[in-house]
Amino acid sequence: MIPLPWQPGDMARLKKPHACGATDWLVLRMGMDVYLQCSGCGRELKLKRHDFEKRLQKRLPQPPQN
């Protein structure tokens, strides 16, 4: 299986919402584990890459960089 090309700073939408109600997450680090930060409350989460790819709904477009 080819790993998805994710970079720190990418935004992802997961299938289930976080306890705060937000569904969008900021990717902090990628490796065997994926470190995410909730866009609603700022809580950080660590997932195995396999679990991240299973829970992923879609990749969100990046805001334009100035």
DSSP string, 14-53: ESSPPTTS--EEEEEE-SSEEEEEETTT--EEEEEHHHHH
Asked if residues 25 and 11 have their Cβ atoms less than 8 Å apart, the reply is yes
At residue 21, what is the residue type?
Answer: G
8's tokens: 């720190």
Q: Which residue has the tokens 């299938």?
A: 15
Determine the pLDDT at residue 20.
93
* pLDDT, tens digit (0-9, with 9 covering 90-100), for 22-33: 999 999 998 889
Determine the pLDDT at residue 2.
54
Determine the pLDDT at residue 52.
92
The domain limits of the chain are 24-60
Asked if residues 53 and 9 have their Cβ atoms less than 8 Å apart, the reply is no
* pLDDT, tens digit (0-9, with 9 covering 90-100), for 12-21: 999 999 999 9
